[in-house]
């Protein structure tokens, strides 16, 4: 099929920053794009050919949108899977497939999938209601501490909490959830796997993620991870096995724990471009966004190795500020060597909201990490 400068239409469900960065690449290739999103001021609006307003969880909105495109992809998992399944039956190509999404959308199903496929993951218990967790603690069936995760619709630290005492459960959503053993890990790692419809497969280098202690959001992504080569190989192998089990098409970001004795345990996955791959725009031969397009359109996959060491810093709304966004000291960070800011185009900031990211590239990774810290201290996302 001719995708370039043609009447082919690519549909994207979701209009956030991941979609916007995907659209940089559709622009590069002159691929016609349609975006469905509920918010009229979404970052994607300025960059797509057609912008459709609609609720991603609404069957009719997703189904009617999907009927107008040739290939449908996502930039967020929270979409109506029944509509995707109906579209697949009618011949629309949907990547990732509805079956993959149905498993990944629910953390309990996702964890059971790992168990069923002999994939290494932290031990867990599944509960239909939050109250069952309290009962299990009281009767000795569950030990503190553990990690509580909402089964549905958790993302970016939402729907995840470390529970150290019974009162930590106060105020949490009452529905289906899992309690996962707290893993005393050395590192949090991630590997992005790309696979096209023909089955060609490539992995990006292992990255290391440093987290913000309160917000449970990634603060720094470091590529390559500062780990032993044997551990890196093991992490890539686990990621490939996960990809094989899902038989996915597109990108699959696999987040993992490196335990104290260097075992690799799967934390969770995302079947789309991911925060742990943003540094690929500046640091890799093929960015994760271009690679996602290549994979879902069944084009040859690009090189996944890095040209240079890269560190990514998330720009999130500063605490105590809500309203029209101001990027304080952005000119100061642009004076620093190897620094590229990405501003997502969200007009309103609030505490911990993802507003952008900054990539720092340097042949010397430790130097890149130092500059990343300077960037973090210098730039502030505040409001007028």
For residue 375, give both structure tokens. 């960037």
- The CATH code for residues 9-94 is 3.40.50.20
Is 85 part of any known ligand binding site? Answer: no
Is 78 part of any known ligand binding site? Answer: no
Please give the Cα distance from 248 to 196 (Å, whole number): 8
Percentage, residues of the chain above pLDDT 90: 92
pLDDT at residue 369 greater than cutoff 70? yes
Contacts of 52 (CB under 8 A, 6+ apart): 34, 35, 36, 37, 65
Looking at residue 215, its pLDDT comes to: 66
Question: What average pLDDT does this structure show over 101-109?
Answer: 95
Residue 260 neighbours by CB distance under 10 Å: 10
Question: What average pLDDT does this structure show over 335-358?
Answer: 96
pTM as predicted: 0.95
For residue 57, give both structure tokens. 């969880």
* Domain limits, the chain: 9-94, 123-181, 185-383
Please give the Cα distance from 259 to 282 (Å, whole number): 30
| Coil, strand or helix at 2 | coil
Is 268 part of any known ligand binding site? Answer: yes
Is 182 part of any known ligand binding site? Answer: yes
CATH 3.30.470.20, domain 185-383, yes or no: yes
Bridge partners, 13 (sequence order): 36, 74
Question: What average pLDDT does this structure show over 114-125?
Answer: 97
Is 149 part of any known ligand binding site? Answer: yes
Is 241 part of any known ligand binding site? Answer: no
Residue 199 neighbours by CB distance under 10 Å: 10
Is 22 part of any known ligand binding site? Answer: no
Is 183 part of any known ligand binding site? Answer: yes
Question: What average pLDDT does this structure show over 276-303?
Answer: 98
Fold of 123-181: Dna Ligase; domain 1 (3.30.1490)
Is 219 part of any known ligand binding site? Answer: no
């Amino acid at each position: 099929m001719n995708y370039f400068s043609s009447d082919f239409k690519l549909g994207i469900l979701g209009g956030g920053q991941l979609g916007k960065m995907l659209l940089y690449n559709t622009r590069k290739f002159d691929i016609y794009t349609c975006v469905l999103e509920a918010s009229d001021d979404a970052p994607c609006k300025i960059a797509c050919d057609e912008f459709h307003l609609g609720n991603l969880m609404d069957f009719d909105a997703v189904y009617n949108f999907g009927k107008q495109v040739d290939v449908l992809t996502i930039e967020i998992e929270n979409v109506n899977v029944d509509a995707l399944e109906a579209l697949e039956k009618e011949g629309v190509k949907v990547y990732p497939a509805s079956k993959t999404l149905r498993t990944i959308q629910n953390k309990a199903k996702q964890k059971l999938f790992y168990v069923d496929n002999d994939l290494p993951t932290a031990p867990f218990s599944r509960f239909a209601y939050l109250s069952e967790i309290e009962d299990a603690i009281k009767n000795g069936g569950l030990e503190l501490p553990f990690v509580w995760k909402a089964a549905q619709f958790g993302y970016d630290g939402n729907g995840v909490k470390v529970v150290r005492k019974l009162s930590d459960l106060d105020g949490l959503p009452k529905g289906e959830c899992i309690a996962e053993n707290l893993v005393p890990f050395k590192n949090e790692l991630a590997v992005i796997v790309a696979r096209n419809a023909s089955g060609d497969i490539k992995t990006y280098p292992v990255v290391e993620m440093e987290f913000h202690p309160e917000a449970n959001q990634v603060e720094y992504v470091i590529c390559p991870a500062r780990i032993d080569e044997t551990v890196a190989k093991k992490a890539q192998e686990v990621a490939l096995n996960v990809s094989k089990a899902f038989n996915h098409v597109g990108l699959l970001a696999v987040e993992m724990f490196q335990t104290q004795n260097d075992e690799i345990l799967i934390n969770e996955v995302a079947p789309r471009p991911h925060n742990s791959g943003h540094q690929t725009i500046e640091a890799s031969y093929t960015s994760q966004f271009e690679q996602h397009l290549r994979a879902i359109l069944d084009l040859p996959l690009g090189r996944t190795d890095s040209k240079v060491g890269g560190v990514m810093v998330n720009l999130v709304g500063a605490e105590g500020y809500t309203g029209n966004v101001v990027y304080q000291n952005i000119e100061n960070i642009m004076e620093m060597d190897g620094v590229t800011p990405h501003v997502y185009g969200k007009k309103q900031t609030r505490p911990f909201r993802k507003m952008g990211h900054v990539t720092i590239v340097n042949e010397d990774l430790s130097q890149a990490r130092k500059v990343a810290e300077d960037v973090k201290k210098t730039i502030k996302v505040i409001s007028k």
